[in-house]
Amino acid sequence: MAASQASLLLQKQLRDLCKKPVDGFSAGLVDESDVFEWSVSIMGPPDTLYEGGFFNAIMSFPKNYPNSPPTVRFTSEMWHPNVYPDGKVCISILHPPGDDPNGYELATERWSPVHTVESIVLSIISMLSGPNDESPANVDAAVGVVFHILATSISIVS
């Protein structure tokens, strides 16, 4: 029963995105017979290191969506502090609901069934615009971003 409700909700979210596209990304099914796996294309946000880029990702939904979050994995090469080397996105809203076992995130920052495909992708676009370097999934990328910011700040001051 839960899988059929999730399927109906995902079909509705896809229809809504097709009727009213959102600037900065597009989404569709990887395979028309599987509403639980989406292909997402994200344009790099202006005034960021990713500006002008076009990044593809796969969004995989659990059968009990929206009670549990999807996983999002970039299939395009992505060098970002909040993206693991295998492409998996690490942002708070994609973490399971409830209290954080590590005590880092508030429960209100984690997954909630009110999120939609649109809110997830907009959060990823926001992540591209402002990485969270306090708990990086990719330490090398976090160091690189901090170095870039410092180098840019120094050149602006000079």
pLDDT for position 144: 61
Per-residue confidence band for 152, with pLDDT thresholds at 50, 70 and 90: low
CA dist., res. 33 & res. 35, Å (int): 7
Contact 60, 95 (CB under 8 A): no
What is the SS3 string spanning 92-132? HHHCCCCCCCCCCCCHHHCCCCCCCHHHHHHHHHHHHHCCC
Which CATH number characterizes residue 37's domain? Answer: 3.10.110.10
Amino acid at 48: T
* pLDDT above 90 (res 138): no
Per the model's pLDDT, the better-predicted residue between 104 and 11 turns out to be: 11
Total domains in the fold of the chain:
1
Show which residues are catalytic: 90
Question: Residue 33 sits in which domain range?
Answer: 2-157
- The three-class DSSP label of residue 56 is strand
Taking the C-alpha atoms of residue 8 and residue 13, their distance in angstroms, rounded to an integer, is: 9
Q: What is the pLDDT of residue 148?
A: 52
> Taking the model in full, what pTM does it have?
0.85
